[in-house]
Each structure stands twice: as C-alpha cells, then as structure tokens.
Chain A
Amino acid sequence: MSTRILLYAEGPGEDRGPLVWLPEPGELLTAEMLGPAHLLVARVVARDRNLPEAAVQFLSPLRLGPRPHRGSDLLVRKNLRRLLTIADPTRRPDVAIVLVDEDGHGDRRRRLLQDLADLELPHVIAVPVREFEAWLIADHAAVVAVLGNRDRPQDPESMQPREAKDQLRSWIDDRVPEGLDRPRRTEQTGQLRADLARRVDLGILAALRAFAQFCEDLRAALAD
C-alpha cells in the first residue's frame, strides 16, 4: 500500500532535490528528486498512516505550458487550478499539497481554498507562518545537529516575514565552505535544508499553529 502525493511549493529550495530534470508529469519522483518539503511531508504521512516513508510517493508536477511552475503561479487562481487538474485518471494522486508561505497575508489559506473550492482532486493548502524556513528551524536540536551550535531563535511563528528565511540562509552560509562554485554551493545548501527536514522533531513542529493545521487538513483529505 502506498500514498501518492502531488506537491507544489514556491521554489527549488522546497520542492527540488539535486536531480532537477524530472520524469514526465504524473510519474513517480525518485529519492534524489525530492526537496525538503517532500521529505517533511513524507514523514508526516508515514507517521499518520503507519507506513514506511518509502511508501509515500510523490508525483512529478504538471507544467504550465512548457515551463515548470513558479512560486507566483500558486497564487494565481487559474494557474493553480490547472496545476491540480490532471487529465489522465491513472496519473492522479491521492492528494495534492500546495505549500505557500504566509508572508504576512493572514487570509492566504482561506483565499486559496476558496479558489479551489469545487476542485475534484483532494487537496491541502499548507501555509507556514511566515515561511517554510520557520518549520525547518523550529527544532533547535535539529539545527545544532545539522548546522552546528546556533542561538535558539525566538518562537518561529512570531518572526517577521523573511526573518526565518534570512536566519537559515545566514547559518547555512556559515556552514558551506567559502570558495565553492555556485552549483556546488547550491547543492550543499540543498543537502543541509534536506537534512533539517529529515531531522526536525514532528512533535515540536506540532506546537506551531500552521503546522498543526496542515497536519489536520492532510489527515482529513487522506481520510476522504
């Protein structure tokens, strides 16, 4: 038994692994194509459904025209609906997840749900407050294990927009050796973010309001 998920996030830092030339939309992504958002979601689903993480499968995303989606596409009703409309019934997932940063827009989840209200495909809108990086740095022990000794940040959900993003970037910049060329730097940054997603304690994350909401929505969507 497996759970098939179609996940869209705002950028390569969330939904891309080291391999970026993906299979045809609707086909399964392999482990090296998964980004931190996939890894975190896989852990949540595996825990909730009592599955091995390998049984949580992710589908290659649809495109908009010939290009991959951009983060801003997820906020445009027409584009988002297209990305969640898969013509071939054999390629449809059990659930689609759209992960977009709150960015200080408190009504983002409600508005996106409204845009998708009549969509047939089960879907979940995950809106980290203020941004996905707040989830990656929420567990101080995980941060220390991956990035070395760091000051414990304030409550991640009370940070200002971009604060968690900038904080994590600066920690990673400290960790990645200087003098690396850009592709190697990007690769190492991706690995560190992925490591955080693998290690962050789900129990600590559950204390974050937005994460708890996401887990609840996901359980409901998969139960339908």
Chain B
Amino acid sequence: MIRRLTIENYRCLRAVTMNLEPLTVLVGANGTGKSSVFAALGSSFSPVDRWARDATVTVRVHAEHATGRADERHVPQSGQKWEGTRDFPHAMVLQLDLQLIRQANQLQEMRQLATNGYGVANVFGTLTRKEQDEIARQFCTLVPLFADVAVRPHAAGNHRVVFQDRWHPTLWYEPHQVSDGSILLLAFLLLPYQSPPPDVIAIEEPERGLHPYLMGQLVGALRRLANGELGPRPVQVLLATHSAELLEFVEPREVRFFNRSKDTGETIVREAPVDDPSWKQTLREYDDSLGDLWLSGGLGGVPGR
C-alpha cells in the first residue's frame, strides 16, 4: 500500500506530497488536480503533461509504501515516457464509459475490466458460478427492482449482461434498458473479483448516477476491497468526488482537499485538521456531517474566484 505519494512537475502538480490511506477520497473544485493525481499513477505520458509544458523539468512520481519500500519513476528532461522502478505500483485508473459498459462483448475469457469499463459481460462470464451468484445477490440487494443478473448470448459470438425483473421472472432487461447508476454499480461490484488485482484502483466520481442512499453501500464495498476483505489481497482505492453524500461515509482522515495556488496555479493538497484542539467541537457543530462541513468551505476543496 502506498503510504505517501509525491508528484513533481506533472500537469498542475508542481510539488505535491500527500499521505494516502487504504481508501482515500480527493475533493476539490473542477481543475484542481484530482484527475492529474490519477493520471500520474497511470501508464501513459505525453509531453503536454509537464508542468507549464516546460521541457526542461523532470517529472517524478515517488511512492513510499507502508512496508518501508519506496518506488520511483520519472520522465527525464525532454523524455517521452516513464522510466524507473520496474515494479512501480500498478494502478487501474478507471474512466468508465457507460456506452462501453453496456456494450455486448466478443466472447472471450477476461479477468480484468478495461479501464473504460469495457468487458463487463466477459469478466462476469469468466467468474465462478459462486462469484457470479454473490455479485448478483449484492446487486439485487442494492437495486431491488431486479432479481438476478446473468450473461446471455447475443449476435455472432457476442454476449451481454441481462437483468431479471423482480416481479416478472420471464422479463429480462438489456443493458441499455437499465439506468446509468445501476450499470455503473454492476461494474464497481466486479472490481474486487478481478485477477490479478491491481495495486491501486482510482475512480472518478463513483457517485455518478447513484442514488445517495446507495453511497454507503458503495463506499462499504470499496472499503472492504481496500482492507483486503474482498479478493485475494488488499487493493488501495482512490476516489475523486464532488459528492457531499459520499463524504458522509468516510472518515475525515481519509479525505484530501484540493485547491490551486492563487499565486502560481499549482495544486495544494490539505488534510482535515483532525489534530487541531477544536476539531471535535467543529465537527459537532456540523452534527458530525463531514459532507456539510466540507460544503461550508472551511476546509478548502471548494470553488471560488
């Protein structure tokens, strides 16, 4: 698990160091660098990713692990790709595309979703019957309009996921007939069952399309993934969100607040001041609602002129 992450000269992250938890949530206005943290952990690099597009700077990502090990990779001056530690943590940065999640898959064994969400039917179909049943059970508990989830053959060697109506057992819905939130939820529920699991999963706006009531279940599932209660080993989870509801289900120490410096434009990351003597009283004034406290603006990570 990455305990401390330092990123230098990558997009707006000129010199950012942040402590990470098994589950860490990034909040901030649009354009404050949350996605850049995810991208810095991903595999691709483009020259326009350098700080201020300055070809003379070295881009560097340094990860200190809970075990004491440290990995580093960098793109040297005028370099075009990442160099450095071979076993730099493998991060799966999800940028889920609803169209692709819904798309019928060319039948093949697949043990990991594509980062854009393609492959739900293949990954689901590759799981054991027991794992499929467990995912279907979790899904139908959270979206009780449905009684089951299965994969069915489609045209010309394709198959797709279908959803059984709770009240009419012969009625199965196609992926495009199911809500965005439901389809995203199914993709999230597959994450712990991927093999081999990545070291880190980063998800942008996991709340997209989800009813606030489901947020706690989603965060709970991701937390179990992060703690190693699901799957063969813990997978560190990073979330970027604009959802105050999601913050109701995480601990203050798990949240990082993103802003841009008014002077230089570089990203500044803050933690909640949980060691401040008045922190407990502050939280009490907000009825222990981290979401409300964040929206007040007193912690940072909100828009402003």
Interface residues of A (CB under 8 A from B): 19, 21-27, 60, 62-66, 81-83, 85-89, 91, 120
Say whether B204 faces chain A, with CB atoms less than 8 Å apart: no
Complexed CA–CA distance, A187 and B262 (Å): 27
Q: Is the CB of B304 within 8 A of A120?
A: no
Say whether B112 faces chain A, with CB atoms less than 8 Å apart: no
Q: Interface code B283-305, partner A: CB below 8 Å = 1, 0 otherwise? A: 00110000011011111101111
Which one of B49-57, B95-103, B270-278 is at the A interface?
Answer: B270-278
Q: Is the CB of B295 within 8 A of A63?
A: yes
Q: Is the CB of A24 within 8 A of B299?
A: no
Q: Is the CB of A82 within 8 A of B302?
A: no
Residues of A within 8 A of B170 (CB): none
6 contacts between A and B (CB under 8 A): A66-B244, A81-B285, A85-B281, A85-B282, A87-B272, A87-B273
Complexed CA–CA distance, A27 and B301 (Å): 12
Say whether B259 faces chain A, with CB atoms less than 8 Å apart: yes
Q: Is the CB of B305 within 8 A of A88?
A: no
Q: Is the CB of B296 within 8 A of A82?
A: yes
Q: How far is the CB of A118 from chain B (nearest CB, A)?
A: 9
Q: From known contacts A81-B285, A85-B286, infer whether A64 and B298 are also in contact, taking CB-CB under 8 Å.
A: no
Complexed CA–CA distance, A25 and B61 (Å): 31
Complexed CA–CA distance, A180 and B75 (Å): 59
Complexed CA–CA distance, A173 and B296 (Å): 36
Say whether B279 faces chain A, with CB atoms less than 8 Å apart: yes
Q: From known contacts A81-B285, A82-B285, infer whether A87 and B305 are also in contact, taking CB-CB under 8 Å.
A: no
Q: From known contacts A23-B305, A85-B286, A89-B273, infer whether A62 and B297 are also in contact, taking CB-CB under 8 Å.
A: yes
**Which residue in B270, B278, B285, B296 is a CB contact (below 8 Å) of A25?**
B296
Complexed CA–CA distance, A86 and B293 (Å): 9
Q: Is the CB of B293 within 8 A of A87?
A: yes
Q: How far is the CB of A221 from chain B (nearest CB, A)?
A: 18
**Which residue in B259, B273, B276, B296 is a CB contact (below 8 Å) of A63?**
B296
Complexed CA–CA distance, A23 and B302 (Å): 10
Across chains A and B, which 8 residue pairs bring their CB atoms closest together, nearest first?
A25-B297, A24-B304, A87-B298, A23-B304, A86-B298, A85-B285, A62-B296, A87-B299
Q: From known contacts A65-B292, A85-B285, infer whether A24 and B300 are also in contact, taking CB-CB under 8 Å.
A: yes
Q: How far is the CB of A12 from chain B (nearest CB, A)?
A: 16
Q: From known contacts A25-B297, A25-B298, A64-B296, infer whether A87 and B279 are also in contact, taking CB-CB under 8 Å.
A: yes
Complexed CA–CA distance, A120 and B281 (Å): 10
Q: Is the CB of A22 within 8 A of B305?
A: yes
Complexed CA–CA distance, A21 and B302 (Å): 13
Q: How far is the CB of B47 from chain A (nearest CB, A)?
A: 32
Q: Interface code B139-183, partner A: CB below 8 Å = 1, 0 otherwise? A: 000000000000000000000000000000000000000000000
Complexed CA–CA distance, A21 and B303 (Å): 10
Residues of B within 8 A of A21 (CB): 305
Q: How far is the CB of A156 from chain B (nearest CB, A)?
A: 35
Complexed CA–CA distance, A85 and B272 (Å): 14
The CB with the most chain A CB atoms within 10 A, among B273, B276, B298, B299, is that of: B298
Residues of B within 8 A of A22 (CB): 304-305
